[in-house]
Amino acid sequence: MSTLSIQVRRWVALLSVGYAFGMGLTGCGGGGAASGDSAGTSSAVEAKQLAEYMQQWYFWASTMPVLDAANFSTPAQALAALRVTQDRYSFIEPAASFNAFFGAGQTVGFGIGYTVVTTNGASELVVRYTQPASNAAAGGMRRGDRILAIDGESITQLVTENRLDSAFGALEAGVRRVFRLQRGPTSQDLPLEKSVYSISSSFGSAIFAPPVSASPRRVAYLHLFTFTSLAETDWQAALASLQAQGFDDLIVDLRDNGGGRVSSANLVGSTMAANQVGQPSVRLQFNSQQTSANTAYQFFATSPQLTPVRLVWLTSERTCSAAEQLIHMLEPARTGLQTARVGATTCGKPVGFTPPTIGSNVYNIVTFQSANRAELASYFTGLTPTCSISDPVSFAYGDANDPLIATALQWLATGACPVAAANAQTKSSSLQLETARDQQQPGAGTQGPKRFTDTLDLR
């Protein structure tokens, strides 16, 4: 470690879809060593530091190519050369954006979360959500809107020419774009400007009864977007409010949740495991050189705290990393209790980062694998749903008419998936999602600086 020149920072283990999502660890084994010269470090020196860090901490260090760390001229070149085939997660991002997201709970952009949809060769962006404090929300853009063009260029053309990323402009406040929106039969041009805004950790909550008159059970619904320290407070407050209204079963919506801090996921899990206080929840497993860094978590006492008899997760291809970890950690803790997943197979990321800062960048390099207390960890192909159903992206979060929520309510009432859910995948041919694009991870920094929010298609 003495050859490394890495800025001192609190060690956080992060789980996310290409963004380091982590838990706050107070130990000093995974973050790196001290230096005061990081601001002036040259690209070649940073590349050498990254290579040396990976040789020691990379989860797949034992199968990583054996190359001279001095041969790399840029960090992106080093990462591209050293990463193993199965690593579709590691990437580099500016420290400023990392610290803003995890420290202040802020990001820069329009506030648009979308899915690329291509039908008969024509592409458009379906708005999955707008961040409530963003300019997109203030401008009236909403879930289900279609974006047909950006600054007069069609989405079809931008996708065909691989220019969609650049069409959104630089990641800085003040960037302006005009979006051509379609809502039903009506279309309009909406000018928007990027700004710094606070990330909302939840898009809604509700309480409703299952659609079976014989069942008196009340069901709570709570959406969760990410796992940060700020999201912990929001989750606890929202859950306490729902608990005060009274409910029996719980639906947790993780459709757009790409992950976050391990410690935050553990807290959220603890609020739903009142009968498991003191029991193991998650174990982080590092490579054979760093076994002393292996870390075990436990469920702990929180307020509020409950154990839902019936629990349903709403999932999608964007449900990733710490969100998957939350589902996975509670599975062995809920033996004898009813649990279901409704939606689509999750992204498949049981690994995470303990990211060092080198120069002005944060290096999100896979350093550990996450396992639950049953030591199960290999869900690289994702967690499959109990009831498989497509998300039409046309209902507000918390709307009981949303097919995913309606399916969850039916399952809670009957213990079985509705027939409609079993056929939903073939019946929703009008919405052909390009999930391959969603699952692509930033390629070793070669596409320029990428952020967690970019990977989630939040712009």
pLDDT at position 403 is 96
Taking the CA of residue 418 as centre, how many other CA atoms within 13 Å lie in the half-sphere pointing to its CB?
Answer: 20
Longest alpha-carbon distance in the chain: 71
For 72, the 3-state DSSP assignment is coil
Judge residue 431's burial from the number of C-beta atoms within 10 Å of its C-beta, 0-12 exposed, 13-18 middle, 19 or more buried: middle
pLDDT at position 177 is 98
pLDDT of 424 higher than 70: no
pLDDT at position 358 is 85
Mean per-residue pLDDT for 346-353? 92
Domain boundaries, the chain: 12-104, 106-198, 205-350+368-427
Mean per-residue pLDDT for 379-399? 93
| Torsion angle of C-alpha atoms 234, 240, 241, 247, degrees rounded to 10 | 130
The whole model's pTM is what? 0.84
In 3D space, the residue among 433, 427, 422 whose CA is nearest the CA of residue 342 turns out to be: 422
For 236, the 3-state DSSP assignment is helix
CATH 1.10.760.10 at 106-198, yes or no: no
Please provide the DSSP assignment of 316-333 as one string. -TT--THHHHHHHHHTGG
CATH of 205-350+368-427, one of 3.90.226.10, 3.40.50.300, 1.10.3720.10, 3.90.1300.10: 3.90.226.10
Cβ contact 350:379 at 8 Å = yes
Query: Rounded CA gap, 447 and 179, in Å?
Result: 24
| For the chain, percent of residues with pLDDT exceeding 90 | 65
Query: Rounded CA gap, 152 and 155, in Å?
Result: 9
Query: Rounded CA gap, 367 and 54, in Å?
Result: 8
Query: Rounded CA gap, 425 and 404, in Å?
Result: 12
pLDDT at position 9 is 34
In 3D space, the residue among 179, 162, 185, 223 whose CA is nearest the CA of residue 397 turns out to be: 223
pLDDT at position 333 is 93
pLDDT of 102 higher than 80: no
Taking the CA of residue 118 as centre, how many other CA atoms within 13 Å lie in the half-sphere pointing to its CB?
Answer: 11
Query: Rounded CA gap, 412 and 338, in Å?
Result: 9
pLDDT digits 0-9 by tens, 215-263? 578 999 999 999 988 899 999 999 999 999 999 999 999 999 989 889 9
- Write out the two tokens for 85: 């085939």
Phi-psi region of 195 (alpha: psi -120 to 50; beta: other; left: phi over 0): beta
Mean per-residue pLDDT for 269-274? 97
Mean per-residue pLDDT for 68-93? 91
Mean per-residue pLDDT for 387-409? 94
Q: What is the DSSP letter of 227?
A: B
pLDDT at position 419 is 75
pLDDT at position 217 is 82
User: What Cα–Cα distance (Å) separates residue 386 from each residue in 87, 339, 393, 415?
Assistant: 28, 9, 20, 11
Asked, colleague to colleague, whether 106-198 and 205-350+368-427 share their fold, the answer is: no
pLDDT confidence tier of residue 416, bands split at 50, 70 and 90? very high
Q: In whole numbers, what is the pLDDT of the chain averaged over residues?
A: 83
pLDDT at position 14 is 65
